[in-house]
């Protein structure tokens, strides 16, 4: 998983919405001391988007036998962690990580929307990997929906 990656993100603003292609990004990944994956994502050089940095870390905690994930994005500076005991697992080469909650300051026409979140990290297949973020609004009758999909393409 280490190396340089081109990232092609998409966003779904709601459960029945059509995908919106977002500006491309680049990600630099490295394995630190055979202990965890460190990723830094920034705008692609040919992108017209404002500068941002998103850092993320993935590891397997040998004490509690859980996969853990943490990210922080300068565009929405809230720590997002996926370390719920017993909720994070790997199957068929994919990690499924459940988070707690965060508040989106703006989501469509709404303001300060609280969400629960879940992340899936797919296996690397043929120099490609898909990471998906699912959201569920914290209100009665809300359904989980695919909110973001990141297609990672390994660069030479």
Between residues 121 and 84, the one the model is more confident about:
121
- The domains of the chain, with CATH numbers, are 3-154 (2.40.128.20)
**Whether the Cβ atoms of residue 35 and residue 46 lie closer than 8 Å to each other:** no
Cα separation, 16 vs 148, whole angstroms: 13
Specify the pLDDT at position 102. Answer: 87
Residue with token string 């994930």 = 69
Say if residue 83's pLDDT is above 70: no
pTM for the whole structure: 0.91
Q: Which long-range contacts (CB under 8 A, 24 or more apart) does 126-134 make?
A: 127/153, 127/154, 128/152, 128/153, 128/154, 129/1, 129/5
| pLDDT level of residue 55 (50, 70, 90 thresholds) | very high
* Distance in angstroms (rounded) separating the CA atoms of residues 154 and 128: 6
Least Cα distance to 118 among 89, 139, 93, 76 occurs for: 89
pLDDT of 88: 67
| 150-67-83-39 Cα dihedral, nearest 10 degrees | -40
The pLDDT of residue 98 is: 87
Cross-strand bridge partners of residue 78:
none
């Amino acid at each position: 998983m280490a190396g340089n990656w081109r990232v092609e993100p998409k966003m779904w603003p709601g459960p029945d919405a059509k995908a919106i292609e977002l500006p491309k990004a680049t990600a630099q990944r490295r394995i630190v001391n055979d202990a965890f994956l460190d990723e830094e994502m920034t705008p692609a050089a040919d992108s017209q988007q404002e500068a941002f940095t998103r850092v993320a870390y993935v590891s397997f905690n040998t004490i509690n036998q859980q996969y853990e994930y943490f990210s922080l994005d300068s565009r929405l500076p809230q720590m997002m962690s996926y370390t719920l005991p017993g909720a994070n697992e790997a199957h068929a080469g994919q990690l499924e990580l459940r988070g707690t909650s965060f508040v989106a300051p703006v989501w469509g026409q709404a303001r300060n929307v609280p969400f629960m979140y879940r992340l899936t990290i797919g296996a690397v297949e043929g120099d490609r990997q898909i990471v998906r973020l699912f959201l569920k609004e914290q209100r009665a009758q809300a359904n989980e929906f695919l909110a973001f999909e990141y297609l990672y393409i390994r660069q030479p």
